[in-house]
């Protein structure tokens, strides 16, 4: 086990656009953060909560999104397993790619790690949108391959990790955020 001083830092994106057991998306996201803490995650920072349109357009009701910086004494695969466990506890079903969901916890980055390697990361980053809709990577890809395209991730990340640098592109969260169109950024509205 790592000591608290050597715990690894991970960036997580949170989203919800469905109710579960009487609770709406905001309640679900706050509950997810507590559930992560129970599993040993240390929440270092959490962004504001944002209202965002579903992606892709028409894929369901608007989302509430946030981002968090967490510490965890484990591998990226263990982090992902913990995220999936919390999703399952809130009724998350993986039936439709990019469909409506009670909870979506995405592992965005693990420090400066590139998994499994730069070439594989670039393949998934450059995959055409139509292929992205139906093709799921067989392994964990870090950082998230389309991080730089997603305002609903970058706007909340700007609250908590503006200077984190993408280990492949070398761009900071702030630079990726600023490269988005003004229209894309304007769709992400703080609650």
User: Residue 139 sits in which domain range?
Assistant: 4-190
- 19 vs 22: CA distance, rounded Å: 6
Q: Give the domain CATH number at 12.
A: 3.30.70.560
Tokens of 129: 């949108």
Q: What's the total number of domains in the chain?
A: 1
- Per residue in 15-73, pLDDT (tens digit) is 999 878 888 999 999 999 999 999 999 999 999 999 999 877 777 789 999 999 999 99
Tokens of 21: 């057991």
Beta carbons within 10 angstroms of residue 72's beta carbon: 21
Tens-place pLDDT, residues 68-110: 999 999 999 999 999 999 999 887 666 655 566 789 999 999 9
**pTM of structure:** 0.90
């Amino acid at each position: 086990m790592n000591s608290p001083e050597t715990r690894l830092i991970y960036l997580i994106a949170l989203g919800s656009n469905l109710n579960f057991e009487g609770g709406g998306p905001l309640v679900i996201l706050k509950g997810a953060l507590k559930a992560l803490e129970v599993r040993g995650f240390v929440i270092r920072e959490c962004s504001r909560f944002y209202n965002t349109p579903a992606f892709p357009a028409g894929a369901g009701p608007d989302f509430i999104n946030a981002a968090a910086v967490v510490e965890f004494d484990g591998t990226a695969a263990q982090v992902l397993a913990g995220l999936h466990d919390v999703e399952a506890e809130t009724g998350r079903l993986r039936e439709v790619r990019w469909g409506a969901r009670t909870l979506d916890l995405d592992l965005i980055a693990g420090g400066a790690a590139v998994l499994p390697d730069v070439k594989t990361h670039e393949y998934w980053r450059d995959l055409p949108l139509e292929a992205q809709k139906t093709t799921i990577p067989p392994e964990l890809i870090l950082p998230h391959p389309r991080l730089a395209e997603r305002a609903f991730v970058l706007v909340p990340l700007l609250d908590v990790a503006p200077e984190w640098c993408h280990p492949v592109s070398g761009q900071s969260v702030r630079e990726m955020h600023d490269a988005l169109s003004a229209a894309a950024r304007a769709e992400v509205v703080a609650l």
